[in-house]
Amino acid sequence: WRWLTTFATLGILWALGRRMGAKGFAALVAVLACALVYRMRTQIRPETVVAVLLAAQLWVLETRRQGGRDRSAWCIPIAWGWANAHISWYLGFVVMGAYLLDDVLRVRGGNPSARARARRLAIVTLGALAISFLNPWGWRALWQPFEYFLYWRHEPIFQTIVELKPLNWRDQLTTPLVPLLVGWPALIVWRASRGSFDRLEAFLCLGFSALAIATQRFIGVYAIVAMPFVMRGLSAWSAARRWPAWS
């Protein structure tokens, strides 16, 4: 199970990173770094199903943004599967919301062709939310993450669970997580300095970095979201360097 879900997740993200322009050996370095962070969350549990669903959602939405075929309707069954598998279902809507906001800002920036795309994604998002209620527990299942944030997190039993605590920086000094948390924003700034600022990437980096720092449970989710963007950024940075012949 661990091998199948991990290969599916990383394979989808690798294909996405390649589509986004990641090339060469540096892209593999990014994959390795993100995989070593993600491996901390590869226990045999429903969260590994979520990893595949999140990777698929990113592939659908980013491929669409890169000018490929619009398969955003696939986000509806993805949302249905996510709501039936894990309490983190709302993160799919965080991702869709970021892409929808990017479309809306493109419209306001004078891109009329983005209007229809934004409207379609808004309809898909509403459809995904509606189908999420089709689970054995109805609205109560969707309410659980909010119930935890408002009430349960203050209960002593939840305060003793390590994965629900903030990031322990000392424990991560021998993993690639800290370099990723520093390096991803640095790559965003570097690309912006060369006229390639990606507003959506900045949204996702800010949101999922904050989640990973606030709660250790989201370390794996952070690595998944970061991987294709770090692949692209590190590949571009490597290509812009002049390396010695022996390397």
What is the predicted pLDDT for the residue at 113? 74
Mean pLDDT of 231-237: 96
Q: Cα(210)–Cα(97) distance, rounded to whole angstroms?
A: 17
pLDDT digits (tens, 9 = 90+) for 81-110: 999 999 999 999 999 999 999 999 988 877
Q: Cα(224)–Cα(50) distance, rounded to whole angstroms?
A: 10
What is the predicted pLDDT for the residue at 109? 76
What is the predicted pLDDT for the residue at 247? 79
Mean pLDDT of 144-159: 90
Q: pTM for the full model?
A: 0.94
- Two tokens at 90? 């709302």
- Residue listed under structure tokens 């943004």: 65
CB 121 within 8 Å of CB 100: yes
What is the predicted pLDDT for the residue at 110? 77
Q: What is the mean pLDDT of the chain?
A: 94
Q: Does the pLDDT of residue 154 top 90, yes or no?
A: no
CB 34 within 8 Å of CB 58: no
pLDDT digits (tens, 9 = 90+) for 27-54: 999 999 999 999 988 989 999 999 999 9
Q: Does the pLDDT of residue 185 top 90, yes or no?
A: yes
What is the predicted pLDDT for the residue at 107? 87
pLDDT digits (tens, 9 = 90+) for 198-212: 999 999 999 999 999
Task: Report which of 146, 154, 32, 131 is spatially closest to residue 91, judged by C-alpha positions.
Answer: 146
Q: Cα(182)–Cα(166) distance, rounded to whole angstroms?
A: 17
Q: Cα(174)–Cα(52) distance, rounded to whole angstroms?
A: 26
Q: How confident is the model at residue 186 (pLDDT cuts 50, 70, 90)?
A: very high
Q: What does R_g of the chain's alpha carbons equal in angstroms?
A: 18
Q: Helices in the chain by DSSP H: which ranges?
A: 2-19, 24-38, 47-65, 75-85, 90-108, 114-132, 139-150, 156-159, 177-193, 199-214, 219-239
Query: What is the share, in percent, of the chain residues with pLDDT greater than 70?
Result: 100
Q: How confident is the model at residue 166 (pLDDT cuts 50, 70, 90)?
A: very high
Q: Does the pLDDT of residue 8 top 80, yes or no?
A: yes
List of residues 6+ apart from 126 with CB closer than 8 A: none
What is the predicted pLDDT for the residue at 78? 98
Q: Does the pLDDT of residue 111 top 80, yes or no?
A: no
- Two tokens at 165? 């605590």
What is the predicted pLDDT for the residue at 85? 94
List of residues 6+ apart from 161 with CB closer than 8 A: none
Q: How confident is the model at residue 236 (pLDDT cuts 50, 70, 90)?
A: very high
CB 186 within 8 Å of CB 47: no
Q: Which burial class, exposed, middle or buried, applies to 89 when counting CB atoms under 10 A from its CB (0-12, 13-18, 19+)?
A: buried
What is the predicted pLDDT for the residue at 125? 97
CB 194 within 8 Å of CB 241: no
What is the predicted pLDDT for the residue at 177? 96
